[in-house]
Amino acid sequence: AGVTQSPTHLIKTRGQQVTLSCSPISGHRSVSWYQQTPGQGLQFLFEYFSETQRNKGNFPGRFSGRQFSNSRSEMNVSTLELGDSALYLCASSLHRLNEQFFGPGTRLTVL
């Protein structure tokens, strides 16, 4: 099985918070998150490996994430803004130096 993400679609209102989930390919230990919008394109959010954040992109502190011991990862966005509407993609790799495999994404709409 490939990378799975849940939920597929999500609608929230401004000010709410949201948690997105990502299950990597079995055996993969590195998980990264990306945001895709028509205006800004694909942008890196965070990278996790062995439950530790290794890199963080240029996003405000409202965006946070974590990785569990089974390599599954979650990202959280607090105090949602309209501009947070995007496709959020998760990617996993065997190790930090291996190519990434992407999930289908979670489409977040903020009203």
Partner 1 sequence: AQSVTQLDSHVSVSEGTPVLLRCNYSSSYSPSLFWYVQHPNKGLQLLLKYTSAATLVKGINGFEAEFKKSETSFHLTKPSAHMSDAAEYFCVVSDAGTASKLTFGTGTRLQVTL
> Near partner 1 by CB under 8 A, which window of 10-18, 61-69, 73-81, 85-93?
85-93
| Binds partner 1 by CB under 8 A, chosen from 12, 19, 21, 44 | 44
**Residue 89 sits in the site that holds partner 1 (CB under 8 A):** yes
> Near partner 1 by CB under 8 A, which window of 17-25, 50-58, 61-69, 72-80?
50-58
d(CA 40, CA 110): 17
> Near partner 1 by CB under 8 A, which window of 15-23, 49-57, 60-68, 73-81?
49-57
d(CA 58, CA 100): 20
| Binds partner 1 by CB under 8 A, chosen from 20, 23, 34, 88 | 34
3-state SS string for the chain: CCCEEECCEEEECCCCCEEEEEECCCCCCEEEEEEEECCCEEEEEEEEECCEEEEECCCCCCEEEEECCCCCEEEEECCCCHHHCEEEEEEEECCCCCCCEECCCEEEEEC
**Residue 83 sits in the site that holds partner 1 (CB under 8 A):** no
- The site for partner 1 (CB under 8 A) is made up of 3, 30-32, 34, 41-44, 47, 49, 54-55, 57, 89, 91, 93, 96-105
